[in-house]
Structure 1
Amino acid sequence: MKTLIALLALALLGLLWLRHENGVLSRSFEKANRVAGEQKRTIAMLENQRVVAQRLAGENERAQVSLREKLNAAGERATRREQTITRLLNENESLRRWYSAELPDAVRRLHHRAACASAGDCLQRLPESESLPDARQRSEN
């Protein structure tokens, strides 16, 4: 009978120890599940960011190609314009005199000033006593 009680006590101690181990393992498992859930959310967020970054990179590349094409076209137009101006200056004496004439003082000062943030800023910089001449009228210079 003493053996039976000792075995029963030993079985009870084993049961308590297993219960304790089961609790420890359950808490570890819950913690691992929480970490795995957080990692899944992080992975999903990073994947979304990667997709957005790839889309933006594609858009940026297309925009750069478009801007490069526009720049090339503008350069070609500027070259043609310069060639046309040179040809016209060589052909027309009165145009050559007009082209080489001095600009009015107010216009010359505008070219030497800092850029205007808005049209109102530029108007404030012009002195009232020296307004710009009408573009349709011939300059005195």
Structure 2
Amino acid sequence: MPWLTLAHHEPVFYSWTQAEAPSSSLTLLFIHGLGSSNTFFFTVIPSLVLDGYSCVAVDTPGSALSAQRSSDCDVATLSDVASSVIAHLGLHPCRLVVVGHSMGGLVASEMALRLDVRAVALIGPVEPSEGLADRFAARVKLVQAGK
């Protein structure tokens, strides 16, 4: 299983499926929403791989197989984690399409601000608004409590 240990010794799990006959030099990076995991995208990845795309799906910290961070985990931190995975794999941002679902859309948007990615696709994005950080923190606590 593919793991990346970050600087703070926190393991992050990801899946990497390379295209068997690449028709594109693009890699799709999938970032799931809060309370989900990289498996959210497993129904579409096989078709995309057959169409010639390589696909990476990350379990964000505290989700599924990735360890909970010992420090706060905000959108900027999640962007750093995803960026660490693509750097670890030697992927070039200019050949990367970042696909984010729900909260993952915030992370994808943050990555687009920081990196020269090819494109961003948002699925059911969350709109940043006043009070979102407080609601997000409350939701994180519920997810961590298993509710």
TM-score range, shorter chain: under 0.3
Ranked by relative contact order (alpha carbons within 8 Å, sequence separation 6 or more), the top structure is 2
Computing the radius of gyration from Cα coordinates, the structure with the larger value is 1
Q: TM-score, normalised by structure 1?
A: 0.17
User: Which of the two has greater helix per residue?
Assistant: 1
